[in-house]
């Protein structure tokens, strides 16, 4: 009996340590992940893409703001922001100030549910068991339109259910984006077939729902950037993510993967998918475990061999 009590006490202590680490240390251990994506035509110079997602910024998160401001030192050629920037009605100027010099870099963006609606207390158990319906319950609106106007004013391309082009480092890039699929705001009829005269075709979405990834891949987009999953947020050592908060399987909750077109399901070399684990969490669930908050520097490089599909390359 005494042994059982000691065991329960030890487990409780380990659990308390784990929660303390997840809430007090890892959730604020911001990191930069680097990947290399072979997707450019031969002869094009590499393009450094800073992928930001899921900042979930509140005015009091000064450490996160300093870290975000420091990312401008990377001197990226392009910023891709896949949404969920806000977690407070007064966060728009805070996010803009923290983005700082990055707003002088060419950028594209879409929004997520946490740009439109304020966070609220949820039941984390329902999340872990795959029930995300409570996340769709409307809460007070956030000033997403103010953030959108400021980003557009600084020259960033708004890809909310629309498409556009940018020339970045001498490469003509065709973009298409959708509004947040997690809220069923996506309008796939606005996604045009990937322009064949562009050097690179990029899809952008907040939540990586399969219907959106399939559409981009089937329509010939080379790379899709997404966020939303928080990388699973609470992960297990070795196994990794348990959930993605959408219909993407947990094995692709973060990082660089392939997403074959439905027309070529066995093609290992079809469209790339990069999912950011994001830099924040809901302020009501400020915990991360085995899934540090991140930004990604994705270096786009030319495909190395003609006729040979590029292998998956992930660095650090
Ligand atoms: Fe998020």
Ligand 1: centre distance to CA 231 (Å): 10
- Say if residue 128's pLDDT is above 60: no
Ligand 1: centre distance to CA 119 (Å): 10
The band of 314, judged by pLDDT with boundaries at 50, 70 and 90, is very low
Q: What is the pLDDT of residue 308?
A: 43
Which strand ranges, in their side-by-side order, compose the sheet holding 162-168?
A: 162-168, 171-177, 200-204, 223-226, 272-275, 255-258
305 or 56, higher pLDDT: 56
Q: What is the pLDDT of residue 313?
A: 40
Q: What is the pLDDT of residue 203?
A: 98
Parse the chain into domains and list their residue ranges.
2-315
Q: What is the pLDDT of residue 263?
A: 75
Average pLDDT, integer, range 172-183: 98
| Average pLDDT for the chain | 90
User: What 3 state SS string does 261-296 have?
Assistant: CCCCCCCCCCCEEEECCCCCCCCCCCCCECCCCEEE
The band of 316, judged by pLDDT with boundaries at 50, 70 and 90, is very low
Ligand 1: centre distance to CA 279 (Å): 9
Q: What is the pLDDT of residue 315?
A: 41
The band of 1, judged by pLDDT with boundaries at 50, 70 and 90, is low
Q: What is the pLDDT of residue 16?
A: 61
Ligand 1: centre distance to CA 109 (Å): 14
Q: What is the pLDDT of residue 135?
A: 53
Ligand 1: centre distance to CA 51 (Å): 14
- Say if residue 136's pLDDT is above 60: no
Give the CATH architecture of domain 2-315: 4-Layer Sandwich (3.60)
Per-residue pLDDT of 205-244, as tens digits, reads 999 999 999 999 999 999 999 999 999 999 999 999 999 9
Ligand 1: centre distance to CA 86 (Å): 9
Short-list 316, 228, 297, 294, CA closest to 50: 297
The band of 76, judged by pLDDT with boundaries at 50, 70 and 90, is very high
91-96: list long-range contacts, CB under 8 Å, 24+ apart.
91/57, 91/58, 91/59, 91/142, 92/143, 92/146, 92/147, 92/150, 94/57, 94/58, 94/59, 94/65, 95/55, 95/57, 95/147, 96/147, 96/150
Per-residue pLDDT of 21-31, as tens digits, reads 677 788 999 99
Short-list 217, 199, 196, 205, CA closest to 270: 217
Give, as residue ranges, everything with CB less than 5 Å from ion ligand 1: 54, 84
49 or 269, higher pLDDT: 49
Question: Contact 159/111 with Cβ under 8 angstroms?
Answer: no
Q: What is the pLDDT of residue 281?
A: 96
Average pLDDT, integer, range 84-111: 98
Ligand 1: centre distance to CA 82 (Å): 9
Which strand ranges, in their side-by-side order, compose the sheet holding 78-81?
A: 157-158, 107-109, 78-81, 47-52, 294-302, 31-40, 314-315
């Amino acid at each position: 009996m005494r042994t059982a009590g000691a065991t329960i006490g030890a487990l409780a202590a380990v659990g308390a340590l784990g929660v303390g680490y997840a809430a007090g240390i890892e959730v604020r251990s911001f990191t930069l992940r680097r990947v290399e994506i072979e997707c450019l035509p031969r002869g094009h110079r590499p393009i450094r893409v800073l992928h930001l997602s899921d900042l979930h910024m509140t005015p009091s998160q000064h450490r996160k703001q300093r870290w975000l401001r420091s990312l401008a030192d990377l001197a990226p050629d392009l910023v891709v922001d896949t949404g969920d920037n806000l977690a407070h009605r007064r966060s728009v100027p805070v996010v803009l100030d923290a983005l700082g010099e990055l707003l002088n870099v060419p950028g594209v963006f879409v929004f997520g549910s946490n740009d439109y609606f304020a966070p609220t207390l949820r039941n984390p158990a329902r999340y872990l068991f795959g029930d995300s319906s409570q996340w769709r319950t409307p809460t007070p609106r956030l000033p997403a339109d103010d953030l959108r106007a400021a980003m557009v004013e600084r020259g960033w391309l708004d890809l909310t259910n629309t498409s556009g082009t940018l020339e970045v480092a001498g490469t003509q890039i065709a973009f298409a984006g959708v509004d947040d699929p997690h809220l069923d705001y996506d309008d796939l009829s606005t996604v045009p077939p990937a322009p064949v005269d562009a050097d690179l075709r990029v899809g952008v979405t907040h939540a990586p729902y399969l219907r959106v990834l399939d559409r981009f891949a089937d329509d010939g987009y080379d790379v899709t950037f997404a966020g939303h999953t928080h990388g699973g947020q609470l992960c297990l050592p070795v196994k990794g993510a348990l959930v993605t908060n959408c219909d993407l399987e947990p094995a692709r909750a973060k990082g660089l993967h392939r997403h074959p077109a439905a027309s070529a399901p066995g093609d290992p070399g079809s469209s790339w998918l990069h999912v950011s684990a994001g830099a924040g969490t809901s302020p009501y669930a400020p915990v991360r475990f085995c899934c540090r908050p991140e930004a990604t520097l994705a270096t786009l490089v030319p495909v190395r061999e003609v006729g040979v599909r590029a292998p998956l390359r992930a660095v650090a």
